[in-house]
Amino acid sequence: MRKLERELARRRLDFEMRSYRQAGKAKNPTNDLLRAVRQALHIPVAEIAGKMGVNRSAVFELEAREVKNTISLRSMSRMAQAMGCKVVYGIVPEGGKKLEDLVEERLWKALLEASESASQQVSDLAS
């Protein structure tokens, strides 16, 4: 029963995350997203800084930290909220694969390792 529940949950996640998988095919799909959204919405840095209660340099620092992948999710969410947005993130397999693909790869890897181990044991016994 648990196996079936896990499989159904995995399929549901694969379906729900399909747009994230598409984005995940890009090398850095969310790199510089805060700056891109700010510029697309034509929101002045001073306005975001005022809503966040920080100075302008802090906004630029957050944008720089995002590019370096050192920004916290909390900070990113605060800045997004100051722009009238929210952060929605996903975790997807690399290369646009489905979770089911990774499960199958892991299964094959485990089977191959078990087979190699058994072959080695037989070889050791024969020696």
Q: Please give the Cα distance from 36 to 17 (Å, whole number).
A: 23
Q: What is the average per-residue pLDDT within 95-109?
A: 86
Q: What is the average per-residue pLDDT within 67-93?
A: 93
Residue 52's alpha-carbon distances to 36, 59, 60, 68, in angstroms, are: 18, 9, 13, 21
Q: Please give the Cα distance from 2 to 5 (Å, whole number).
A: 5
Helix (H) or strand (E) holding 43: none
User: Which residue would you say has higher pLDDT here, 92 or 5?
Assistant: 5
Judge whether residue 7 has pLDDT over 90: no
User: Which residue would you say has higher pLDDT here, 60 or 90?
Assistant: 60
Q: What is the average per-residue pLDDT within 43-64?
A: 97
Confidence category of residue 14, pLDDT binned at 50, 70, 90: confident
Q: Looking at residue 92, what is its pLDDT?
A: 81
Q: What is the average per-residue pLDDT within 91-105?
A: 85
